[in-house]
Amino acid sequence: MRTRKSIKTLTEFIIERQQEYPHAKGALTRLLNDIATAAKIVNREVNSAGLVDILGYAGKENVQGEAQKKLDIFANDQFITALQAGAECCAIASEENEKVISFKNEFSELGKYVIAIDPLDGSSNIEANVSIGTIFSIYRRKSEIGGGTLDDLLQPGVNMVAAGYVIYGSSTMLVFTTGKGVNGFTLDPSVGIFCLSHEDMRFPEKSNIYSINEGNYIHFQEGVKKYLKYCQEEDPVTNRPYTSRYIGSLVADFHRNLIKGGIFIYPGTKKNPKGKLRLLYECNPVAFIAEQAGGKATDGFNRIMNIQPESLHQRAPLFVGPKDMVEKAEEFLKEHSPA
Ligand code: P6P
């Protein structure tokens, strides 16, 4: 039985870490708490989705042309409401909204941060009861006054001040970084408190999982095909053949690979050279966490966090995981890419 004194809550942790930023006035602390609050409300609905009429499609499409599930919209509304009420954030870019949501009320306009968020990623898995998640990244605004702008959101990942995800699974966890390592908090549903459960998360030294939708094999570039064959070869010295694990829910796949050690790949294809995942609210946050956990995240050739976004919903190929695995994959891409 864990005694109270051994449990550190999210709030206690953030306030404790805030001491490391003497000039901090607590705005980022409050912003992270606003996200945690919305996550708890979304968690309650995700866990009871099968019981209430919230499963199924809302009859609308999001900007990606993907049929919106009722939970997608519910989650989007919860995060927008919590962030607007919290008044630390002056604008949001959401997967569910084509344009920037700029907060123009007298309080939010003073918000120093902007957020890019995928409120409920992997929602196509909801009715299969597969883990899904929220993914977010936080930047300081560039504009001086008024509601946040598109320019505030189109910043390269290196400008992130924090990033994280919530995974709604067998237990609900909030995993985030503010640039000083990665920490995971598990929700105690009996009291609705996120408690520190995974301190200073890092990829394991040895990894042997590869995650990719091999159903798209014929569309992959030659270098990706060659890397997959490398993963499947027998070589005890390098722990191969690797194990293939793919859920089709980015947060679930990435979280497992962070804990157990593995590379996640969503590459470009001839038809979709930039792949499927969105840079601002899927690739960048996952890349920040991966780098802070000792790993690497590239588009196969360039660091994800260096990419200068041109549009809110632009996509990027993603190779993310332990440094050695990502660099091996990059070797095959470089060797087999057209000169
Ligand atoms: P595919 C979910 O729709 C998502 O955006 C990510 O969560 C996931 O990694 C990816 O798409 C799965 O895509 O094409 O393999 O089904």
Mean per-residue pLDDT, 170-199: 95
Q: Does the pLDDT of residue 176 top 60, yes or no?
A: yes
Classify residue 161 as left (phi > 0), alpha (psi -120 to 50) or beta: alpha
Residue whose entry in the numeric block shows the structure tokens 């070797």: 331
Residues 10-198: name the CATH superfamily.
Answer: Fructose-1,6-Bisphosphatase, subunit A, domain 1 (3.30.540.10)
> Both ends of the chain: CA-CA distance in Å?
60
Q: Does the pLDDT of residue 29 top 90, yes or no?
A: no
- The mean-pLDDT minimum among 13-17, 105-109, 291-295 falls in 105-109
Nearest atom in ligand 1 to 121's CA: 7
Q: What count of other Cβ atoms lies within 10 Å of the Cβ of residue 45?
A: 17
Q: How far is the CA of 264 from the centre of ligand 1 (A)?
A: 11
Q: Supply the pLDDT for residue 238.
A: 93
Q: Does the pLDDT of residue 192 top 80, yes or no?
A: yes
Q: Which residue has the higher pLDDT, 69 or 204?
A: 204
Assess whether the C-beta atom of 250 lies below 6 angstroms from ligand 1: yes
Burial of 323 (C-beta count, 10 Å sphere; 0-12/13-18/19+):
middle
Q: Supply the pLDDT for residue 62.
A: 73
Whole-angstrom Cα distance, residue 59 to residue 72? 12
Q: Does the pLDDT of residue 51 top 60, yes or no?
A: no
Q: Supply the pLDDT for residue 34.
A: 93
Structure tokens at 102: 């700029």
Q: Does the pLDDT of residue 65 top 90, yes or no?
A: no
Q: Does the pLDDT of residue 52 top 60, yes or no?
A: no
pLDDT tier for residue 329 given thresholds of 50, 70 and 90: very high
Residue 334, SS3 per DSSP: helix
Q: How far is the CA of 210 from the centre of ligand 1 (A)?
A: 15
Cβ–Cβ under 8 Å, residues 137 and 162: yes
| Residues 200-231: tens digit of each pLDDT | 999 999 999 999 999 999 999 999 999 999 99
Range 163-179 burial, b when 16+ CB lie within 10 A, else e: bbbbbbbeebbbbbbbe
Beta-sheet pairing, 243-244 with 101-102 = unpaired
Structure tokens at 220: 């992959």
Q: Which residue has the higher pLDDT, 313 or 45?
A: 313
Mean per-residue pLDDT, 68-94: 90
| Domain residue limits, the chain | 10-198, 209-335
Q: Which residue has the higher pLDDT, 309 or 339?
A: 309
Most confident of 86-90, 120-124, 229-233: 229-233
User: Is the peptide bond prior to 241 cis by the omega test (within 30 degrees of 0)?
Assistant: yes
pLDDT tier for residue 132 given thresholds of 50, 70 and 90: very high
Q: Supply the pLDDT for residue 1.
A: 61
Alpha helices in 214-322 (DSSP H): 222-232, 250-260, 284-292
Q: Does the pLDDT of residue 252 top 70, yes or no?
A: yes
Q: Supply the pLDDT for residue 69.
A: 65
pLDDT tier for residue 17 given thresholds of 50, 70 and 90: confident
pLDDT tier for residue 19 given thresholds of 50, 70 and 90: confident
**Which residue has the CA at smallest separation from atom 16 of ligand 1?**
248
Nearest atom in ligand 1 to 133's CA: 7
Whole-angstrom Cα distance, residue 35 to residue 9? 15
Q: Is the pTM of this model over 0.75?
A: yes
**Class of the domain covering 209-335:** alpha beta
- The mean-pLDDT minimum among 47-61, 130-144, 212-226 falls in 47-61
Cβ–Cβ under 8 Å, residues 155 and 311: no
Q: Which residue has the higher pLDDT, 301 or 146?
A: 301
Assess whether the C-beta atom of 146 lies below 6 angstroms from ligand 1: no
Q: Supply the pLDDT for residue 218.
A: 95
Q: Supply the pLDDT for residue 57.
A: 65
Assess whether the C-beta atom of 248 lies below 6 angstroms from ligand 1: yes
Mean per-residue pLDDT, 232-241: 96
Query: To the nearest whole number, what is the mean pLDDT of the chain?
Result: 91
Q: How far is the CA of 185 from the centre of ligand 1 (A)?
A: 24
Q: Does the pLDDT of residue 158 top 60, yes or no?
A: yes
Q: Which residue has the higher pLDDT, 18 or 294?
A: 294
Q: How far is the CA of 122 from the centre of ligand 1 (A)?
A: 6
Q: Supply the pLDDT for residue 331.
A: 98
- The mean-pLDDT minimum among 31-35, 92-96, 115-119 falls in 31-35
Query: Which amino acid, 97?
Result: N
Half-sphere exposure of 66 (CA within 13 A, CB side): 16
